Amino acid sequence: MKLSNSLIHSLHFDGAGDRWASIRAVSVAGVVALMFAVVTWRATTIALGGTHETSVASKTVQIAAKRADIVDRNDELLATSLTIDSLAAAPQEIWDAREVADGLATVFPDLNVERLVARLQDPDRKFVWIRRKVSPRQRQAVYDLGLEGLRFEKEVQRIYTGGSLAGHLIGYTNVDSKGISGLELAHQERLAAGAAPLKLTIDTGVQFALEDELNFAAEAFNIKGGSGIVLDVKTGAVRAVASWPTFDPNRAGDAVDDQRLNRAINGVFELGSVFKPLTVAAALDAGVLRPTEKFNVARNLQFGSITIKDRHPISSVATVTDILAHSSNVGTVKISQLLDLRQQKEFLDSLGLLSRPQIVFPGAAAPILPPEWNELSGATISYGHGLAVSPLALAAAFTAIANDGEMVRPRFIEPEPEDEIDLTRVISAPTARVIAEMMRTTVVEGTGTRADVYGYEIAGKTGTAEKPGPDGYDYDRNICSFVSFFPASRPEYVVLIVLDEPEAREGEGKTAAMNAAPLTGRLIARIAPMLGVDPVLEKRRSTSQKASGVRTVSDERAL
């Protein structure tokens, strides 16, 4: 009986063990089956293009709003935004980071595989950028790899339709479509809102002509740099502004600092004799000079150890017009000495030449003033040495000469109907007209004759300034400029050309009369019809006059 009970007890115990063993076996088999199902499911979904959670195709997110377009005054498109794909990854969805990185390297050969593997294996990362702004071909190639954990994000790519055209003015954005230079930065909030296009004052035809002429100067005179401005004297609208060398904002990262420098707005230079008309205007307006006065310019002037002389001396006695037309340093200094230093300084300040330009543009350069405004600096500033200003500031100052004494503030954005033109009277109208006549004479029979264009009455002034260096001014390194407006009898536009270190062509000198002046004439001949400026009927020179190089003044009758 005991034996029987023991056997029964033994049989009961062994049966329970079998049941628990069966349960464990079923559980293990279930887990294995579940894991196999998951693996099969994931492999199938990857092969078919993925699920909503892991598909490269389905993960498309708009992460930036469409930036507003930029157009010129005639609604010609200058900058726009296109939606484009960027490749990213979700590290937590990737099983084999090495496999993913190696696969992507076949599409992007420059990819740093080891760095990407480390980023994909980082447990703290939920999102990793792999390549911003990929092409459609690259996108398809990534699809074809069939890798897990990848996604395409929709981004906005800024496109500059004219390439380098007006690149310095427009500026560019970073990879996140945020403005970081030029008008893209100045109007970041307005553009980012994605509203109506931002309409600029520039005319693409005029802009192209200006840039083309600067490119010509680069080849003809081997310039180190250059800039140019075309400015409406009535409204302040900048119809063109350019800097050389240029750069393409579509590939701003490829440009060096010298290419990105906006010399017209963000650079300052001692511009030389283009200041002389301003010196004469200051003296006339102060009542200390009469237009008919004459000066003895035969002798050099001495300021301590500094000698001021004329590069090309004129006759011993010169009128005010002669002093401007033939660019006498000695005569200009003598005129400036009729003013006291306070009058000179206040006059230049009223023209905006002693402070940063009041314009909406990032990095607009402030002038470099002399350490001390004394007798010597006052003398040299009278003919454009010792005070460095931006080309835009100088062009704006000459709107006062061209606009009967009223200076207009430059603007880059087309005004709304309710906007008012910002005009400030800085010179009397009679003084402005006298200076305009003298500048016309400079082109007719003085240093600016190579700038003259029949029918457009160009008035102007040359400037050849020696560049300062560690050992003083360098005679062989010049800034050559020509400031002008046209037509002289009814001015509509100021045009300024500045060339940095132009070289002489064979048989010619390297002064502004030989480079900046003829370049300006070429430019005005091209742009005047684009700007709708009607030519005026001018008396043609006789054969003897042509031979002697003398030009006659227009009779100012419009055709």
**Six token digits for residue 508:** 């010619």
- Collapsing DSSP to helix, strand or coil, 433 comes out as helix
* Rounded Cα–Cα distance for residues 5 and 45 (Å): 60
User: Closest Cα to residue 496, out of 413, 414, 402?
Assistant: 402
Contact 400, 426 (CB under 8 A): yes
User: Closest Cα to residue 100, out of 85, 84, 119, 81?
Assistant: 119
- What does the angle CA 186 – CA 188 – CA 194 come to, to the nearest 5 degrees? 140
DSSP letter for each residue of 170-181:
H--B-TTS-B-S
* Rounded Cα–Cα distance for residues 396 and 398 (Å): 5
Residue type, 210: L
DSSP letter for each residue of 81-148:
EEEEEEEEE-GGG-S-HHHHHHHHHTT-TT--HHHHHHHHT-TT-S-EEEEEEE-HHHHHHHHHHT-T
Exposed / middle / buried, residue 12 (Cβ in 10 Å: 0-12, 13-18, 19+): exposed
* Rounded Cα–Cα distance for residues 314 and 328 (Å): 7
- Rounded to the nearest 10°, the torsion over CA 442, 448, 452, 456 is -50
- Collapsing DSSP to helix, strand or coil, 152 comes out as strand
User: Closest Cα to residue 240, out of 217, 261, 265, 211?
Assistant: 211
φ/ψ of 237, rounded to 5, equals -65, 125
Catalytic hit among 177, 273, 390, 484 = 273
Catalytic, 273? Answer yes
Compute CA 499 distance to the chain's CA centroid, rounded to the nearest angstrom: 17
**Six token digits for residue 192:** 């980012």
269 CB-near residues (< 8 Å, 6+ apart): 388, 389, 390, 391, 465, 479, 498, 500
Contact 179, 188 (CB under 8 A): yes
Q: Which residues are catalytic?
A: 273
